[in-house]
Structure 1
């Protein structure tokens, strides 16, 4: 019998600072009221997988990427700073110009031997994700990067960014600029805009009681929804309502319906759906330019129905409810900006009756090119969140199409029915 393949290992170099390639302004910069309300000090970890390309020389590719960071930081100088909190509860950016922590690493195998980093990972998260030296708090950093070379010529790029400073679209905008600089462009194609103080800072609505946390034992799984299945529901929506709907609307309706059937709450018990939507389009008259702004532009939305209402509803009816919830979200956001919000919409019920969905399928991380082509696959690594049922939407690895769902939303006793219901729709 053949010996089992050796467990892949990763050898990391110590983290090194990549400072801006030129002089940058000092001083401190405020964060926006949305940054401070929405994000707390959450770090987001994700991986971009790059198969071996014709580019060839790995060492030269790594050097060009490092230089891309240095040059991009001149334009995005706040990212080279640190998060400070001179007044408790009022974080800001200290423009120290120190730079970003950058880690070079080497894996002992080809990407294929590591199953192209498909789940469950055969290389641990800790080996693929950058962390600063032990004396540095990761919560004070704005962004860190690690590039891991594989023996086939491919790479994995691990990024850790502060959600206090960027939303996903903003972080992708910065990384696209890094790629442009690495590929030799003279400056980023999109001029970065800080302008956090242009966002209104309305009086805070009452916080209400602090949420109570229950740690759940979620089953983790991955499923793909085909383009055909999504199109079928879109066509149904169009024929029954004369309205267009998005892929997000369709996939979210599928998830909400299947999960509600699986957890089988009492008919009159509430089930809730939560999501965050981009509000960039609502800030046109507030920001100097929406294009180039890389701060948080998200606001929470959702809906509450009884278990029986969701079980009885068609997918078209649930899509319609989701579209209405998105319209309400826009109204609530504008209301919040003008100081009219009576309640804190960031308070989400963290219980088993709530499903929170996050769409990473078109944030922009899949379009980043550091000089060795676009990634074949991008996935998040914040798997340790076990206090709220969640689903993350990703683009599946190329050349597949459709939507990949990373599921962490049912416990073992509901897993079988949930899987069966999803398969009917996938």
Structure 2
């Protein structure tokens, strides 16, 4: 039986007053950067934390602050803020040099007391500095860094970014640039391309495909189209589950398990096999008495190679759209595993054309939508296994663990490489998942059944 993780509290840490780090090259007059509909659909914060063994935490803090002065020359927009344009009603990125926020912290806890760092631990939110939902939008920092020194001499570096400003690849590249500067090796990315107008909606918008993967969040005048009706997956969305009733866990997919899944539905990729297995297991756990409803799994698709002209290296905006696989819950549960894999393949193929991507952008222009996870009947799977968390060397060695901070979102599953943690082989995949306790018991019963 897994040991309950150590829970960090406010009493375990002492935090210094936040410092604002400014860009030495912020444009004057103030620049306003267009954010695409893809950016706006995912304008939430992403938290990651990296643990290091004994090292000079005080020196690390000084190095990071010095490195930020270099990083914020090409990445000056990270010191800006989001605000709503009163004329268009759209969020914009205003490069007003309001600052990146840096925090020093000390903990009386020994790092070994935290247990297995690779397990989801919601209390690791203490190791990042959150911009604060109580603040107005123009007051919330887009990038924060916290360096926490533990009683044993180890330390953690926690970072918070805004997904609407940087997607996963762009954020990972930025972290690598920061670490490279700390090592004295300068920027790894020589050119930062921040013009997002390549993802502007067409005039007028032309919706040529149905887009079940998004849901409407505000009424807007509809344009003539065969696909302007918003898909509703359930007439009666389930009420939100209190965070304290949720259980966080890691589902390990070993090389032998992955191989067995792929043999069952050959030919298919590792991603397709794992996604289909998670979808089927979750449907069996959640749709017990709702088999006539539609079950859907959402997933991220990188479209950098699908846009013409091809996006340049160093593009920092969001270049990921949402794909989906959907079917009646009864079919997902009762038909062979290969059925789920084929639905996933269809979902990936659906997003393979530039026209589909343009149609999705136009749909978002009309409906101001977000990925359709808010009704509790679908969930989002994001593959982070290519993000090299353990390669983030700030000058005193690579982290013993690095990865996301667990949160209470029932709708999101992260696929991670165990190489980023302390367990498992590099050919394994770990799925981080959060679910209501009773549903989790059912889910765990089904997810290992092949």
Deviation larger for 135-144 or 88-97? 135-144
Mapped pair 1:406 → 2:432: yes
Quote how far apart the aligned CAs of 1:382 are: 5.8
Aligned twin of 1:130: 129
RMSD of Structure 2 on Structure 1 (CA):
3.3
How many angstroms apart in 2 are the aligned matches of 1:282 and 1:216? Answer: 38
Aligned twin of 2:345: 323
- Preserved contact between residue 246 and residue 408 of structure 2 (Cα < 8 Å): no
Aligned twin of 2:63: 64
CA spacing shift, 1:418–1:149, aligned 2, 3 Å: same
Q: Give secondary structure in 2 for the equivalent of 1:280.
A: coil
- Preserved contact between residue 65 and residue 371 of structure 1 (Cα < 8 Å): no
Aligned twin of 1:159: 159
Aligned twin of 1:18: 21
Structure 2 residue corresponding to 1:232, chosen from 235, 260, 263? 260
CA spacing shift, 1:286–1:413, aligned 2, 3 Å: same
Structure 1 residue corresponding to 2:284, chosen from 248, 261, 272? 261
1:274-423 equivalent positions in 2, closer than 5 A:
274-283=298-307, 285=309, 287=311, 289=312, 291-331=313-353, 333-336=356-359, 346=370, 348=372, 350-381=374-405, 383-385=407-409, 389-396=411-418, 397-401=421-425, 402-409=428-435, 411-423=436-448
Q: Give secondary structure in 2 for the equivalent of 1:83.
A: strand
- Preserved contact between residue 275 and residue 356 of structure 1 (Cα < 8 Å): yes
Per-residue CA deviation, residues 181-216 of structure 1 (Å, 9 max, x unaligned), is 111123333521111123232245647679878313
CA spacing shift, 1:135–1:201, aligned 2, 3 Å: same
Deviation larger for 125-134 or 304-313? 125-134
Deviation larger for 190-199 or 333-342? 333-342
Aligned twin of 1:82: 81
Aligned twin of 2:273: 250
Q: Give secondary structure in 2 for the equivalent of 1:310.
A: helix
CA spacing shift, 1:269–1:134, aligned 2, 3 Å: closer
CA spacing shift, 1:391–1:37, aligned 2, 3 Å: same
Q: Give secondary structure in 1 for the equivalent of 2:184.
A: coil
Unaligned 5+ runs, structure 1: none
How many angstroms apart in 1 are the aligned matches of 2:448 and 2:239? Answer: 29
How many angstroms apart in 2 are the aligned matches of 1:408 and 1:329? Answer: 27
- Preserved contact between residue 83 and residue 92 of structure 1 (Cα < 8 Å): yes
Q: Give secondary structure in 2 for the equivalent of 1:295.
A: coil
Quote how far apart the aligned CAs of 1:151 are: 2.9
How many angstroms apart in 1 are the aligned matches of 2:185 and 2:8? Answer: 42
Aligned twin of 2:102: 102
Aligned twin of 1:31: 34
CA spacing shift, 1:424–1:372, aligned 2, 3 Å: farther
CA spacing shift, 1:60–1:138, aligned 2, 3 Å: farther
Quote how far apart the aligned CAs of 1:125 are: 4.3
How many angstroms apart in 2 are the aligned matches of 1:414 and 1:6? Answer: 26
Quote how far apart the aligned CAs of 1:293 are: 0.7
Aligned twin of 1:115: 115
CA spacing shift, 1:29–1:219, aligned 2, 3 Å: same
Q: Give secondary structure in 2 for the equivalent of 1:418.
A: helix
- Preserved contact between residue 17 and residue 102 of structure 1 (Cα < 8 Å): yes
- Preserved contact between residue 25 and residue 72 of structure 2 (Cα < 8 Å): no
Q: Give secondary structure in 1 for the equivalent of 2:380.
A: strand
CA spacing shift, 1:137–1:299, aligned 2, 3 Å: same
How many residues are matched?
406
Q: Give secondary structure in 1 for the equivalent of 2:317.
A: coil
Aligned twin of 1:270: 294
- Preserved contact between residue 132 and residue 138 of structure 1 (Cα < 8 Å): no
How many angstroms apart in 2 are the aligned matches of 1:390 and 1:6? Answer: 23
Aligned twin of 1:221: 248
